[in-house]
Structure 1
Amino acid sequence: MSNQNTPKPDDRSDNVERLQEMAQNTKKNIKEAEISMEFAGPEVAQKIKEKNDRRNKALDAFIAEMKDEAEARKKGLK
């Protein structure tokens, strides 16, 4: 009987592209949230601002990871 629970191989060949897409989506969400913040009450606007702060931190992390992945790809590590 074969083991059907074997993990898939770790394929990171498209990591940079996936991270770029995630960063673009995050930027879009930030812009859309800023627009909606104009029409929101003060409490909701504060929550949107806090969420956008978290999005900006995530965006910084995406960019740093893209750089790492691109450098690793250049060196032939991935």
Structure 2
Amino acid sequence: MQTLLDYLKAGESINDFLDGFPTVTREQVIALLEETEKQIVRIEEALRQYIQRRQQMKVLELFCTIDYEKDYNYKQQRQAI
């Protein structure tokens, strides 16, 4: 797989790679690239979920750090809106 990626990074085509490795078929290369794409999508989703969870945890941490004024009438303020 690394050799294929090296070929592609160098700007070579799949055909160039296949010419250099005649025992590898186009179908194998395509299957490998499709599987790699699926793995990347799974990784992106896992990262998205991780970031979302971290953001949620930061918000939850804020709930313990907000100091409210004891004499402020929050109910009255909500009614004014």
Normalised by the length of structure 1, the TM-score is 0.48
Which structure has the larger Rg? 2
Higher RCO by CA contacts (8 Å cutoff, separation 6 or greater): 1
